[in-house]
Amino acid sequence: MSRLDRGWSSVLVSLDEPPVRVRNIGADVAVGDFVVFGADEERVEHVLDRHSAFVRRASFEGNRAEAHTIAANIDVVMLLHGLTSPPNQRRLERELVLAWDSGARPVVVLTKVDLVDDPAPTLAALHDVAPGVDILVASGITGDGVEVLRGYAASNATIALLGASGVGKSTLVNSLVRHGRMITAEVREGDQRGR
């Protein structure tokens, strides 16, 4: 499952073919799911077992809490934080819990290393927040650290990137895939958010 829209899903059947568009009404599907759809390619018939699932537990439907699977079958989740402002340690703690609970392996990536003089103090501070978790620095602009990040995709591992607006997710994806497809723009001066 590569994309979800209201009532419809895009399913990748091959990297050489365009996605197949199928109905997902009544199916509990998420991006990353492996699915079986009918020969007529009309609807999702079965969702295969997941080995990991990012679940949002905070939404309410009527009087009861409703869990929603946001993404499935993720092997590595890269938690991106920009070095141009101090990383929010509480946010990182929440992201680490989400990643561990999902079954994916978390990796902290400090982006925009090309815009700071010395990332060492930030790295040291985050090692206390994320013991045992790989903490790396990278720049999607200069390519610093990108080869190390590509190593996490070895053996066809599925990677997800999680981070606030403006931390460089799209720029980093463009560097990782080597043939940039995602549109990027400068962040706003006032709040350093993406546009």
* Residue 150, domain extent: 76-177
Same domain, 8 and 64: yes
Residue from 136, 68, 145, 74 nearest 105 by CA: 74
How many separate domains does the chain show? Answer: 2
Same domain, 55 and 111: no
For 71-125, what is each residue's pLDDT tens digit?
Answer: 999 999 999 999 998 889 999 999 999 999 999 999 999 999 999 999 999 999 9
Same domain, 100 and 50: no
Is the pLDDT at 179 greater than 80? The verdict is no
Same domain, 59 and 115: no
Same domain, 68 and 81: no
Same domain, 53 and 93: no
For 119-147, what is each residue's pLDDT tens digit?
Answer: 999 999 999 899 999 999 999 899 999 99
Asked if residue 26 lies in contact with residue 7, where contact means CB atoms within 8 angstroms, the answer is no
Asked if residue 112 lies in contact with residue 168, where contact means CB atoms within 8 angstroms, the answer is yes
- Is 54 a member of any domain? yes
The reported pLDDT for the residue numbered 110 is 95
Phi and psi, residue 154, nearest 5°: -60, 155
